[in-house]
């Protein structure tokens, strides 16, 4: 996502292509994109830069969130899903996507109908496995009853713990992989956020209350303690955050995004990091309930989230 969408001015296609190829060279085997990212430009970037190395990686993309008549929209109808998928295949330059997610829950369409559309795409050979993104335990079970769900993707990091309410247990019970997006908390846990002045209007953190004003100033106190802990064990903050996510279970896979080859290489260093139980417990103490102030989404974005919330969680 970072290469075309959401965090300010994106890198050039050439820079993005170099990063993707470097990721494959280093052994990365999962590339995650979506129709929404850059209004299809991210899928086109994958085609232009790495689709010739197709056998080296699992390709994941998403539907339901897409651009409709030039505007971002949410449509989980079977017709919209089929149209988004066909357009994605064309943009990606392939006839098969390995893992295809419903990006968000469209509350106007029964989940059974949306999953049914993906099941038919699977039968037609257009997609392999079926995934869900930011959906709660009850929805996951309903979807899984229609067709086996292979992966559930939600935001998860030491800062954002919502999947621990019910989703992680549901995934374990049903044999579903869990994919953690924003595992470094949208830059908070890689020493990349120091104030609330972002580089462009298109940085989505402008609309996220915990990244602005007094909320951010409060949150950076916990982040400073986390950074100090990482330094104490000879790791970067990003590596400690990723090691924490990797410790949550064999079925948990983090997908850190970056626009920097240096940061990519740093992130991959987390694989060899074993902080130990005491350090992991310290991470959880630093980010104990109440340590982070401000909702994680704006009201409009939260309305599209089905993942469970904590009883005392601030919501926009």
159 in a domain, yes or no?
Answer: no
Among 149, 178, 209, the domain-final residue is 149
Percentage above 90 pLDDT, the chain: 92
If you write DSSP's letter for every residue of 109-148 in order, what string do you get? S-HHHHHHHHHHHHHTTSEEEEEEES--HHHHHHHHHHS-
100 in the same domain as 226: no
171 in a domain, yes or no?
Answer: no
301-307 average pLDDT score: 94
143 in the same domain as 32: yes
**Is the four-CA dihedral 313, 209, 134, 283 of positive or negative sign?**
negative
- What is Dmax (Cα atoms) for the chain? 53
Among 133, 149, 165, the domain-final residue is 149
pLDDT of 198 strictly over 90: no
251-263 average pLDDT score: 96
pLDDT band at 13 (very low <50, low <70, confident <90, very high): very high
282 in a domain, yes or no?
Answer: yes
pLDDT band at 82 (very low <50, low <70, confident <90, very high): very high
224-228 average pLDDT score: 98
pLDDT band at 202 (very low <50, low <70, confident <90, very high): confident
158 in a domain, yes or no?
Answer: no
Instruction: Please tell me whether residue 30 adopts helix, strand or coil conformation.
Output: strand
Residue range(s) defining the domain that contains residue 239: 186-248+260-307
19 in a domain, yes or no?
Answer: yes
pLDDT of 7 strictly over 90: no
Alpha carbons within 13 angstroms on the beta-carbon side of residue 17 total: 13
| Location of structure tokens 């920097």 | 260
| CATH number for position 107 | 3.20.20.100
141 in the same domain as 49: yes
Q: Which residues, 6 or more positions from 52, have their beta carbon under 8 angstroms from its beta carbon?
A: none
pLDDT of 44 strictly over 70: yes
Find out whether 255 and 177 touch, Cβ atoms under 8 Å. Answer: no
Per-residue tokens: 111: 């989940």
216 in the same domain as 138: no
pLDDT band at 199 (very low <50, low <70, confident <90, very high): low
> Quick one: pLDDT at residue 284?
97
Alpha carbons within 13 angstroms on the beta-carbon side of residue 123 total: 8
95 in the same domain as 215: no
8 in a domain, yes or no?
Answer: yes
Active site residues: 37
pLDDT band at 36 (very low <50, low <70, confident <90, very high): very high
Per-residue tokens: 22: 């470097």
pLDDT band at 8 (very low <50, low <70, confident <90, very high): confident
What is this structure's pTM? 0.96
- Rg for the chain, CA atoms, rounded: 19
> Quick one: pLDDT at residue 200?
62
Instruction: Please tell me whether residue 24 adopts helix, strand or coil conformation.
Output: helix
pLDDT band at 306 (very low <50, low <70, confident <90, very high): very high
CA triplet 148, 152, 292: central angle to 5 degrees? 160
C-alpha span between 274 and 270 (Å, rounded): 8
Per-residue tokens: 214: 């007094």
Per-residue tokens: 108: 């106007």
Lowest mean pLDDT across 45-59, 76-90, 189-203: 189-203
179 in a domain, yes or no?
Answer: no
C-alpha span between 287 and 241 (Å, rounded): 12
């Amino acid at each position: 996502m970072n290469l075309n969408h959401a965090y300010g001015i994106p890198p050039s296609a050439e820079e993005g292509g170099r990063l993707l190829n470097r990721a494959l060279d280093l052994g990365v085997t999962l590339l995650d994109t979506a129709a929404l990212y850059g209004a299809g430009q991210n899928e086109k970037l994958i085609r232009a830069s790495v689709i010739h190395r197709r056998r080296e990686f699992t390709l994941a993309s998403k539907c339901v969130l897409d651009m409709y008549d030039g505007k971002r929209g949410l449509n989980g109808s079977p017709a919209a899903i089929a149209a988004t998928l066909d357009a994605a295949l064309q943009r990606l330059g392939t006839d098969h996507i390995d893992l295809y997610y419903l990006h968000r829950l469209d509350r106007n369409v029964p989940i059974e109908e949306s999953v049914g559309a993906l099941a038919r795409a699977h039968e037609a050979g257009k997609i392999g496995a079926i995934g869900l993104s930011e959906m709660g335990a009850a929805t996951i079970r309903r979807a899984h009853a229609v067709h086996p769900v292979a992966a559930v993707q939600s935001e998860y990091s030491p800062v954002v713990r919502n999947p621990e309410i019910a989703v992680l247990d549901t995934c374990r019970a049903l044999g579903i992989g869990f994919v953690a997006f924003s595992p470094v908390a949208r830059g908070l846990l890689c020493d990349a956020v120091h104030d609330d002045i972002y580089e462009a209007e298109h940085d989505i953190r402008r609309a996220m209350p915990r990244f602005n004003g007094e909320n951010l100033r409060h949150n950076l106190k916990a982040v400073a303690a986390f950074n100090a802990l990482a330094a104490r064990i000879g790791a970067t903050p990003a590596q400690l955050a990723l090691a924490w996510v990797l410790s949550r279970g064999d079925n948990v896979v983090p997908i850190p995004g970056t626009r920097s080859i240096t940061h990519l290489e740093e992130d991959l260093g987390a694989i060899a990091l074993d902080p130990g139980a005491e350090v992991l417990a310290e991470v959880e103490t630093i980010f104990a309930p109440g340590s982070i102030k401000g909702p994680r989404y704006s009201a409009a974005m939260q309305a599209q989230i089905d993942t469970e919330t904590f009883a005392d969680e601030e919501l926009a």
